[in-house]
Amino acid sequence: MRVVVTGGAGFVGSHLCEILLGRGDDVVCVDNLSTGRAENIAALCDQRGFTFLRADVSYGFDVPGPVDAVAHLASPASPADYHKLPLQTLAVNSRGTEHALVLARRHQARFVLASTSEVYGDPRVHPQPEEYWGHVNSVGPRSVYDEAKRYAEAVTTAYARHLGVSTGIVRIFNTYGPRLRPRDGRVVSSFIRQALAGEALTIYGDGLQTRSFCFVDDLVRGIVAMLDCREPGPVNLGNPDERTIAELAELVLRITGSPSPVQRLPLPTDDPVRRCPVITRALERLAWKPETDLEEGLRATVSWFRSRGAEPVPAAGRAR
């Protein structure tokens, strides 16, 4: 196939570009590099079948030549990014999503939307199945991302229902792995960066809130499976291995051997207390499930951080 990946220079997008190229697809990576990074795709730029198009999909874009599939991943995704870029986040998930859908419709191509577990908000149903409508504060500080993705799902569904576009929606839960930006505000990258620098690991609230962490290689397998079929979704893609934030901090400290203490700060407004996917639909319809153990994935992620120049502090005298 020839696949257009919007947000292809981002954390998840660059891994998706890589796996698609590796199996023989041609890839057009579209990114404005607002949160994506050129270095994420530097190794791909000389590969046959890879094209980079620098463009902001919110303002419209075109891709010359045939298009067989469009994977729409363009959007700030971490709290730090969408709080910094609130209007851009709303734009890329509204106008940007529709521009990507127009491209898919023009070429009669498959369209897959990268949605998010954030559409469930601070859930009152646990764990979260796709049938759950969510509990979202439409005027809260996270709404620029939560509601933007809910709109993206709505317009994607409308293009399928009324215009006949083959669409699929995946709801991505917390994902981690190599190419995370050290200061993107995600909990895994923050903990690893802080541990390797000997800084205090910042836990918000009591640390008993939970998340379910999926290694990026597992996640992109699920996105590829969605590209390869006509399943409309939504389909949860995440790891049902639920962990507390305090457990994650302990694991990062053990893997890095860091002496960093833990610092507790107030819980942000509307921060979800529990988050864990039901993945029955992914198992049955995509034959997908995560395969990477959390400790194994964290070790690979820590190794990548160290390869980028983050050196561990001495383990002796570790304080808690």
Distances (CA, A) of 264 to 83, 203, 204, 231: 21, 5, 6, 43
> Is there a catalytic annotation at residue 145?
yes
Q: What percent of the chain has pLDDT over 70?
A: 96
Predicted confidence (pLDDT) per residue in 266-295, tens digit? 877 767 888 899 999 999 999 999 999 999
Q: Please check whether residue 139 lies inside any domain of the structure.
A: yes
Q: Please check whether residue 184 lies inside any domain of the structure.
A: no
Q: Please check whether residue 291 lies inside any domain of the structure.
A: no
Domain residues for the domain of 45 are 2-176+214-237
How many structural domains comprise the chain? 1
Active-site residue, selected from the candidate residues 59, 120, 132, 145: 145
> Taking 50 as the threshold, does the pLDDT of residue 316 lie above it?
no
Predicted confidence (pLDDT) per residue in 118-176, tens digit? 999 999 999 999 999 999 999 998 999 999 999 999 999 999 999 999 999 999 999 99
Neighbour tally for 308: CB within 10 Å: 12
Q: Please check whether residue 24 lies inside any domain of the structure.
A: yes
Q: Please check whether residue 276 lies inside any domain of the structure.
A: no
Q: Please check whether residue 315 lies inside any domain of the structure.
A: no
Q: Please check whether residue 165 lies inside any domain of the structure.
A: yes
User: Which of 165, 213, 168, 217 minimizes the C-alpha distance to 189?
Assistant: 213
Report the CATH number that the domain containing residue 128 is assigned in CATH: 3.40.50.720
Q: Please check whether residue 106 lies inside any domain of the structure.
A: yes
pTM for the whole structure: 0.93
